């Protein structure tokens, strides 16, 4: 039997009982006994500071208005469609410009389509914007089964663009989304007009593993790379857990909103040592909590972790070579980034910004929008 290819209109409407349950769980949260000396709300050396987590959880319970944020998300057209047996949730904002370029925005973990909420209006005059949620993320749940990894997801995204009538399109991605964007270009060069990647110094942590360690670096450059690698290695606890024991951590994330809050909010802490010292001083607090609420209400803390397990055990490389034009925007840029990542200067469009970080659509929205627009104008 042929698969139903319908695009079914979708509107977010979380039951009030679920909203009340969240507030009740936050009110009854069982907290750890504080360790003496752990009273600095910006000290993330051992994970998210308990004093900061308590402050954020109390605001989530008493100050955050889910219904207001839900209404804002519903300002964008959305639909669901089934591909290869899996339900996908997609935000689709058509431009009023008849010559607009279709643009697929790819996100990773612990992001969601909420990540692009403030970017979309800055692109809509030049692009038809499409934001799919990967399988197991947000409303692309529940999972239809095992086996949903990077390659299978990429094929599903191509099919979604076909169903929307977009024969040719551009792609932007960060985190896991940089993998799906790059793979689309490698597999469908006749369809993808260009890929734009948002990156930050965390990429240096994969040198010598997923990417070759660069040759000819100076002592100063090597020291900078190793400092980032050391910081990244200390931050990989979540990665190993989700790649190897998603069911174990998933049980805690699904039952405890404070646990889900800690698991995600920590990843938004700033890395550049600038004036902003906590996650909600780096990104908007309500947008951060909207993203986390989405994980909570859809129980996708567990199912999104499965994506890491599947990808880690698939044997598929994150990166694939392609002749499609590519552009990179590096945020919180360090002097060694291009020499380390692109020593041959094969990437045609390369931009570096001191602002922003791993979530540029939330941290440096206007800079990212401007760079996406500039890249696609250059290759059109």
Q: Which two tokens stand for residue 336?
A: 């060694």
Closest among 15, 53, 55, 44 to 256, alpha carbons compared:
53
DSSP-assigned letters across all residues of 27-84: HT--PPPPPTT---TT--BTBS-HHHHHHHHHHHHHT--HHHHHHHHTTS-EEEEEET
Q: How far apart are CA 129 and CA 100, in angstroms?
A: 9
CB atoms within 10 A of CB 281: 14
Cβ-based neighbours of 212, under 8 Å, separated by 6 or more = none
Q: Is 247 a catalytic residue?
A: no
- CA contacts within 13 A on the Cβ side of 237: 11
Q: How far apart are CA 231 and CA 248, in angstroms?
A: 25
3-class DSSP state for residue 211?
A: strand
Given the residues 232, 308, 332, 371, select the one marked as catalytic: 308
How are strands ordered across the β-sheet holding 169-173?
8-9, 78-83, 86-93, 127-132, 101-106, 169-173, 192-199, 326-331, 349-353
- Phi first, then psi: give them for residue 199, nearest 5 degrees: -135, 175
3-class DSSP state for residue 153?
A: helix
CB atoms within 10 A of CB 246: 23
Q: Is 358 a catalytic residue?
A: yes
Given the residues 76, 175, 280, 295, select the one marked as catalytic: 175
Given the residues 172, 238, 358, 371, select the one marked as catalytic: 358
Q: Which two tokens stand for residue 172?
A: 């932007």
- CA contacts within 13 A on the Cβ side of 87: 13
Q: Is 92 a catalytic residue?
A: no
Taking phi first (over 0 means left), then psi (-120 to 50 degrees means alpha), and beta for anything else, what does residue 234 get?
Answer: alpha
Residues acting as catalytic residues? 175, 308, 358
């Amino acid at each position: 039997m042929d698969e139903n290819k319908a695009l079914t209109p979708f509107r977010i409407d979380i039951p009030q009982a679920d909203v009340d349950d969240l507030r009740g769980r936050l009110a009854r949260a069982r907290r750890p006994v504080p360790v003496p000396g752990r009273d600095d709300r910006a000290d993330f050396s051992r994970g998210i500071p308990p004093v900061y987590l308590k402050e954020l959880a109390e605001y989530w319970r008493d100050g955050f208005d889910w219904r207001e944020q839900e209404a804002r998300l519903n300002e964008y057209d959305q639909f669901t469609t089934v591909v290869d047996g899996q339900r996908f949730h997609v935000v689709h904002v058509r431009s009023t410009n008849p010559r607009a370029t279709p643009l697929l925005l790819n996100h990773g973990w612990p992001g969601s389509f909420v990540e692009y909420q403030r970017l979309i209006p800055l692109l809509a005059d030049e692009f038809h914007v499409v934001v799919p949620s990967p399988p197991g993320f947000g409303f692309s749940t529940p999972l239809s089964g095992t086996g949903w990894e990077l390659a299978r997801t990429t094929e599903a995204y191509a099919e979604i663009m076909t169903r929307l009538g977009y024969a040719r399109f551009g792609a932007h991605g960060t985190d896991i989304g940089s993998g799906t964007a790059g793979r689309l270009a490698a597999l469908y060069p006749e369809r993808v007009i260009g890929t734009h990647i948002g990156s930050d110094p965390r990429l240096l942590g994969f040198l010598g593993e997923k990417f070759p360690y660069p040759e000819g670096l100076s002592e100063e450059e090597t020291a900078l790379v190793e400092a980032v690698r050391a910081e990244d290695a200390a931050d990989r606890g979540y990665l190993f857990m989700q790649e190897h024991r998603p069911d174990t951590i998933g049980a805690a994330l699904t039952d405890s909103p404070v646990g889900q809050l800690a698991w995600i909010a920590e990843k938004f802490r700033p890395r550049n040592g600038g004036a902003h010292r906590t996650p909600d001083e780096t990104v908007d607090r309500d947008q951060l909590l909207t993203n986390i609420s989405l994980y909570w209400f859809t129980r996708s803390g567990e199912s999104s972790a499965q994506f890491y397990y599947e990808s880690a055990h698939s044997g598929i490389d994150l990166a694939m070579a392609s002749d499609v034009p590519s552009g990179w925007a590096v945020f919180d840029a360090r002097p060694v980034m291009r020499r380390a990542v692109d020593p041959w200067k094969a990437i045609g469009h390369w931009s570096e910004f001191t602002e922003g970080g791993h979530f540029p659509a939330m941290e440096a929205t206007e800079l990212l929008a401007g760079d996406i627009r500039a890249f696609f104008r250059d290759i059109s």
